[in-house]
Amino acid sequence: MTSHENKPFPNVNILGLKLYDFVENSANKYFPNVGTLSLKSKLPSNVSTDKLLDDLSEICSLSNLKSLILIDATYPTDFLVKLFKKTSQIYSLRCSSKILSKMSNDLDQLKHIVKRLYIESYEEDNSKMMKKLCLALINLEYLSVNMINGNDLYLLLSVILRTMTRQKLNSLTIQLNYEKFESLTLMSWLNDYISLNSIQCEIEHEPSSNCLDILFNDKLSRFCCDDIAL
């Protein structure tokens, strides 16, 4: 069955699907104008990735997607590689650091297209992947990192500030979960690092907001620290 034989739903712009070894609740439906696709993975290890991608292509036009959200991290690497080849127009990507680690040898596929990246559940000891990512995504304008804990906070900041601020990055968000840190220590470190590395930016801090604001290229970047005691 081709997509033209499926019942069209032209008014749907945002679509969420669950993946098993099939696409749930998608039979005989086609969404021609989807711009944002959200996938939740329940894929088995032996899934046929080619068939699954063919099924997805019957549901929506992967080549026309602008935004892709990958929930969970249980995606086979070959599925991710082939999926990114088919979604060649996406400029916004939301996924976990585990997915990016799986893709570490194929980041060039995202090199020119991704301008907004949202990293969920960033785990420590991912600095090598992060450095490779920062160097690869030369057109990235906005980066958001949600950290599971703050153990790698200073290492992560140094990797981002050293590489991406000299590219096109103009806005950055780092959010810490379940962690507390001394904001004066962080502010002191940031001021020293920025001065030593001649990074052109401004830092604003409002203790009541639990956030650090950094300005790159006349745009506001924010290190948000929700539920953090100052």
Whole-number pLDDT of residue 227: 41
Q: What mean pLDDT is predicted for residues 113-127? A: 90
Give, as one character, the DSSP assignment of residue 58. H
pLDDT at 161 over 60: yes
pLDDT-derived band at 144 (thresholds 50, 70, 90) equals very high
Q: What mean pLDDT is predicted for residues 164-190? A: 80
Which domains are assigned to the chain?
Answer: 1-77 (no CATH), 97-230 (3.80.10)
What digits encode the pLDDT tens for the residues 187-209? 899 989 988 988 888 787 666 55
pLDDT-derived band at 3 (thresholds 50, 70, 90) equals very low
pLDDT at 181 over 70: no
pLDDT at 9 over 90: no
Is the CB of residue 193 less than 8 Å from the CB of residue 161?
Answer: yes
pLDDT at 162 over 90: no
Whole-number pLDDT of residue 2: 43
Q: What mean pLDDT is predicted for residues 42-54? A: 85
Q: What mean pLDDT is predicted for residues 124-129? A: 85
Dihedrals φ, ψ of 110, to 5°? -100, 0
What digits encode the pLDDT tens for the residues 69-83? 999 878 888 899 899
Buried b (16+ CB within 10 A) or exposed e, 186-198: beeebeeebeeee
pLDDT-derived band at 1 (thresholds 50, 70, 90) equals very low
Is the CB of residue 145 less than 8 Å from the CB of residue 122?
Answer: yes
Whole-number pLDDT of residue 228: 37
